[in-house]
Structure 1
């Protein structure tokens, strides 16, 4: 489980990216890279990291479901994800 500070930092970055998205788009289109550099670092969407919505784990993240592989297995075995079942052959 990730530290609460890491999860909070990620949420903060997501808000900042949304806040500056239009401004970044306009500055990139006009080619004004000096003003683009003066924006906050966290305004860049590259600094975001995919994280599990439950634990905050960043590795083993399954994009389609929004959770890490560990949480995914437990949710599937409990039958909480519709249309997914454990493979057996």
Structure 2
């Protein structure tokens, strides 16, 4: 088996910006396991959104007979827990920080401020008065 650097490209990442310059193993592109879990939940929620919404509408409809609503209850119980939109946690896309998220950019306030200070965000301007 002949392996060269280009075939290992998806498993190994080379960058001069790293503390220990050289090759470093990277398993995925996410910061930590919490972010992996959140991305998985977002994907599952998006995939099942339409079907889940339809079944929920049947469950909550007071006009329909009780039998149909009970069937809808059983159907909604078959969905995985991670398909619920309520389980999605807003996290910073760069650092995976769960608090202080600026919604429009999906970044924590710390990262957002840093990028805004160096003109890396379009449409952001420092407040000036006087």
- Give the distance between the partners of 1:27 and 1:21, measured in 2 at CA: 10
Larger mean Cα displacement after TM superposition, 29-38 or 54-63: 29-38
| Structure 2 spans left out of the alignment, 5+ residues | 1-30, 60-71
Residue 79 (str. 1) matches residue 119 (str. 2): yes
Give the structure, 1 or 2, with the largest relative contact order (CA under 8 Å, sep 6 or more).
1
SS for the counterpart of 1:52 is coil
Cα RMSD, aligned residues only: 1.8
How high is the TM-score relative to the length of structure 1?
0.86
- Out of 53, 57, 60, the position equivalent to 1:29 is 57
Larger strand percent: 2
Q: 2:94 aligned to 7, 29, 54, which one?
A: 54
Question: 1:68 — aligned with what?
Answer: 108
Structure 2: distance between partners of 1:73 and 1:9? 26
2:73 counterpart of 1:45:
no
CA displacement at 1:56 relative to structure 2: 1.0
1:87, distance to aligned residue in structure 2 (A): 3.0
Instruction: Specify the structure having the higher radius of gyration (Cα).
Output: 2
TM-score by length of 2: 0.61
Structure 1: which 5+ runs fail to align?
none
Cα distance, 1:77 vs structure 2: 0.8
- Displaced runs of 4+ in structure 1, greater than 4 A? none
1:19 corresponds in structure 2 to 47
Q: Across the two proteins, how many residue pairs are aligned to each other?
A: 88
